[in-house]
Amino acid sequence: MTSSKRARLAIFLTVFVDLLGFGIVIPILPLYAKAIADHPSGWMESVNHFLGLGGTGTTPGAFWAGVGFLSFSLMQFIASPILGRMSDMVGRKPVLWMSLVGSTVGYLMLALTSRFEWMLAARILDGITGGNISVAQAAMADTSDPSERSKVMGMIGAAFGLGFVLGPAMAGILSGSALGHHLLETRGWHLPFFVAAGLSLTASLMVLFWLPETLTDEVRKRARSHESRGHALVKAFKRRGMPQLLGVSLLAMAGFAMMEGTFALLVQQRFGFQQREVGYLFAGIGVLLVIYQGGLVRLVSKRIPERAALIAGLVMMGIALPLMPVAAWMWPFLLIFIPLSWGSGMGNTAGTALASQLTPPEDQGSLFGVLNAMTGLGRIIGPALGTFIFARWGGQATYTAAGITLGLALLLALTLSRKDLA
């Protein structure tokens, strides 16, 4: 096995193991935060009263679930460009290892608490160190030619997909297990979050002992040079085509995150589903992501230009989201997952590949830090708006707003020309 292939395999496995932990948290966190918020402290009751969330027909727990998502995403938005730039200067390996250790500590805090304040602190810590995907993407770019970017970024997407298959499934199994019930009832501990902590710790050890450094000394020297200095976000916006790509990333993630932050609440309200069923449904989305990122992306990248793939992905997502609150159980609802998942995979992979092709090697870490900052900002705006709209006006209004957000991303993508991408 060549050194570049070994590095790609190590990065893939590291991201996969880390995303297992993330996949465990996503379907459980809204219901977990909602359960905590059902017994609010004094300051939370004051916020509920100020926002008008105490009346009949409102769901204050949905708002507090959004706060849990928002706190993680806000910290990730701030930290991602910093971690990406650090990885350009000191190497991918040490920054990736440090971030995974931080995630381990954050999950442990989450596992051991039943207080909203400590849950918030855990999500903030995990968000600060949670910019590791940008570093992994930069490491993948280090090992590939520009013509291969869609394919190798598809590997990162496949790791995401697998994490969303097994992570939510594990969340459902662990939450419903006898041990999970016993720990929660007797100790107030949350077994799924302990497992997530163990997975992030495993990923950190894989980085420490198996991942080779992918950034050469020459590129690191250029990254430290005077010519390479400057705020990553400002530099990215100065490149032709990048403002549109960053805007698309922001809007597309905001629309998708409206769904992520409220999906558990939607299916609980519509179908009476609990953590186990929500975990299995998220696993289904993950299966579809794996099918696309693990195989279909190669066919698409060979036959469809990245700009066209980006536009097609946004169209598929924009159609799928508003249908979710009205589709009947079972097959009509489940079939919506196909355009939702494949559209997300197609748009993310194509947008990332286009941005990487426009950026020199010494700025790849900064680029992916900025891209992940934009998606992190989308994860702030999406759950904040989505959960608040859900709390006040219900699921149909939330998913209509998500569809409109994807429509805005599509309009921005249509402004990209071949000249911008040259």
What lies within 8 Å, CB to CB, of 286 at 6+ separation is 23, 161, 162, 163, 164, 165, 166, 167, 168
What is the reported pLDDT for 310? 92
Q: Where do we find the tokens 């409206």?
A: 258
- What is the 3-state composition of the chain as percent helix, strand, coil, each rounded to the nearest 5? 85, 0, 15
**What is the value of pTM for the model shown?**
0.68
C-alpha angle with apex 116: 70 to 180, nearest 5 degrees? 105
Is 259 inside any structural domain?
yes
Token representation of residue 23: 């996949």
Closest CA to 338 of 291, 297, 288: 288
344 belongs to a structural domain: yes
Tokens 């954050």 map to which residue?
106
Closest CA to 372 of 356, 384, 388, 357: 356
Q: How far is residue 141's CA from residue 8's CA, in Å, rounded to a whole number?
A: 10
Q: Which region holds residue 213: left if phi is over 0, alpha if psi is between -120 and 50, else beta?
A: beta
| Number of domains composing the chain | 1
Contact 395, 266 (CB under 8 A): yes
Q: Which two tokens stand for residue 415?
A: 């402004």
Range of the domain at 325: 3-210+231-421
Q: Is residue 216 part of a domain?
A: no
Q: Which residues contact 127 (CB under 8 A, 6 or more apart)?
A: 71, 72, 73, 74, 75, 76, 79
- Residue 9, in any domain of the structure: yes
DSSP annotation of 184 reads H
pLDDT of residue 53: 73
DSSP character string of 248-282 = HHHHHHHHHHHHHHHHHHHHHHHH---HHHHHHHH
pLDDT, position 327: 93
DSSP H/E element including 104: helix 92-112
Residue 410 lies in a domain: yes
Q: What is the pLDDT of residue 312?
A: 93
Which CATH number fits the domain that encloses residue 177? 1.20.1250.20
What averages of pLDDT result for each successive group of 10 residues across the chain (422 residues)? Answer: 69 79 77 75 81 68 75 79 80 87 89 83 84 77 71 74 77 84 83 88 85 76 56 66 87 92 88 81 80 78 85 95 93 94 88 77 70 80 87 90 95 80 58
How far is the C-alpha of 80 from the C-alpha of 161, rounded, in Å?
A: 21
Residue 223 counted as domain residue: no
Phi, psi of 383, deg, nearest 5:
-65, -35
Please report whether residue 146 resides in a domain: yes
Residue 276's Cα: distance from chain center in Å?
21
Query: Does 397 fall in a domain?
Result: yes
Distance CA 411, CA 142 (A): 32
Please report the pLDDT score of residue 4 as a whole number. 66
End-to-end CA distance of the chain: 34
218: left (phi over 0), alpha (psi -120 to 50) or beta: alpha
